[in-house]
Amino acid sequence: MLSGPEVDATLQSSAHAASLATLATANKSESLMRKAQEHYARALTLTNEALGDAIKVYEDSTIVSVILLGVYENFVFEKHSLRAWMQHLKGAETLFALRGETQFRNDLARQIFMQFYRLTMTKGVELGTPIPDKIARLYRFLTSLNDYTMHGVEHQVEVLEKAITLMQDEGGDPVSRVADVLKLDTELDLIKFMLQTLWRYEIVQLKKPAEHVFGNVYHIYTNPWVINMWNILRTCRIRLFKFVRAQVNKGLQSSPPLFSYEEACAHISKCKDVISSQMLAICASTPQLTGQVAFPHQVKRDVNLLEKGLKAVNLRNRMFTIHPRGTFLEPFKSTGLDHLIGPLYEIGRSDYGPRLTRWAIDQLYFMARKIGTRQAISLAEELEGKLKDESNFMVWNDPCPTSAQLAALAK
């Protein structure tokens, strides 16, 4: 859209604002940030004019401009940014709904919508906000077209939508809430057996510790989008079992307690197992996104991943081993690093242990240097504050606690 002979002025200004903001943050340049702000102000004016135009309001360039204004807010990450980002997000939702089902006749429009839907779903899991009904209906219509880019994730999205809705309801009977989560989590856990080859990943065991790799394994995926989808699922399961922990705590505080000692012990043990396993899986997915491990297309050109998945390449190739961070990052392609910020923050603020939080902080600072996002810097600084108090962390390998300790553990 930006490489054609006649680039839309609104789109151009929005793209300049977002890209200059990333450069300014990465290079700590006040002059570049001022230029970014100038382009942002111009883009806002032009976007508002386009929204008032009966023809331009339906154009792809207009909706992409609105999305890019939201990207700008995410990268500058000032006090007002979250509110402004939400406004741009709602604006994009309105435009997609206005364009309706006919917009999907255009391949580019389908790609734009799916990028936006992925963002909406990610933020829905992270912030606990439901996916708007009109956007959800458009997604279901698009997947009904059997487009190859959608195939294999329809059930995952449906279950994630249920999870977001469930976590919004903090009232009701804790016993029923816990039962609902456990039932839903069974569906989430079964998704991995339903996904086609494109979505499957390889688990590689490290023979010795590797720099910037947390734990003794790392994953190999087909592309960054697949990693993002898996990490949305993992973040959702973490959130669900934190919700269970809170419900157990609520039940234990009732008189009489709504859970027996054995039931509470089993639930807390399940929470620990699921939360820790999902956090470690997010850690294992990180090296490929940070450029320590190659993606299949970098090893073999024109590889058919849709049909064969990772079987289409030789995983013994040295490019699939651990390298220094940034080795395989491609400067003119989306890294997918921006979608890793939320999952890293989620595991960094957990009570798993200070070593994991330090690792998450290091990764966030690396991402800030590479893609120029102040959001990563701000969240890393917040996590550094958590490290100052060891009481923020629990010992996860403790034996099952007493009933008196269960309530404290469930907080």
Amino acid symbol at 407: A
Same domain, 113 and 184: no
Residues 373 and 287 in one domain: yes
**Are 197 and 325 in the same domain?**
yes
Q: What is the pLDDT of residue 360?
A: 96
Q: What is the pTM of this model?
A: 0.81
Residue 346 to residues 289, 324, 361: CA-CA distances in angstroms?
17, 25, 11
Residues 199 and 259 in one domain: yes
pLDDT at residue 298, as a whole number? 93
One-letter amino acid at 82 equals L
Instruction: State how far the Cα of 205 lies from the Cα of 322, in Å rounded to an integer.
Output: 11
Of 151, 178, 213, the residue at which a domain comes to its end is 151
CA angle 129, 344, 360 (to 5 degrees): 155
CA 382, distance to chain mean position in Å, is 19
Q: Which of 383, 184, 166, 177 is nearest to 274 (CA)?
A: 184
Q: Dig out the tokens for 260 from the structure.
A: 């027996």
Q: How far is residue 185 CA from its own chain's centroid?
A: 19
What is the predicted pLDDT for the residue at 229?
85
Residues 342 and 270 in one domain: yes
Residue type, 174: P
Tell me if 156 is assigned to some domain: no
Q: What is the pLDDT of residue 153?
A: 60
pLDDT tens over the chain, length 411 residues: 666 656 788 889 998 998 888 888 777 788 888 998 899 899 889 998 988 988 899 888 999 999 888 888 877 776 666 677 678 878 888 899 999 998 988 888 888 888 888 778 777 777 777 778 888 888 888 877 765 444 456 667 777 777 877 877 767 789 999 999 999 888 877 777 767 778 889 999 999 999 999 989 999 999 998 898 899 889 989 989 999 998 999 999 888 999 998 999 999 999 999 999 999 999 999 999 999 999 999 998 888 887 788 999 999 999 999 999 999 998 777 788 888 999 999 999 888 788 999 999 999 999 998 888 888 898 999 999 988 887 767 655 433 344 444 445 444
| Residue where one domain finishes, among candidates 126, 151, 176 | 151
Strand partners, 219: 203
122 and 166 part of one domain: no
Residue 56 lies in a domain: yes
Number of compact structural domains in the chain: 2
Question: Both 146 and 169 in a single domain?
Answer: no
**Domain membership flag for residue 335:** yes
* Single residue among 107, 129, 151 that ends a domain in this structure: 151
Domain match, 207 and 274 both: yes
Q: How does DSSP assign 96-115, residue by residue?
A: HHHH-GGGGGSHHHHHHHHH
Same domain, 65 and 107: yes
Contacts of 296-302 with C-beta under 8 Å, sequence gap 24+, read 296/222, 296/223, 297/223, 298/328, 298/330
The answer to whether residues 407 and 298 belong to one domain is yes
Please tell me whether residues 182 and 146 are part of one structural domain: no
Q: Is residue 345 part of a domain?
A: yes
Q: Which domain holds residue 30?
A: 1-151
The verdict on residue 71 lying in a domain is yes
Residue 259 lies in a domain: yes
Q: Are residues 6 and 77 in the same domain?
A: yes
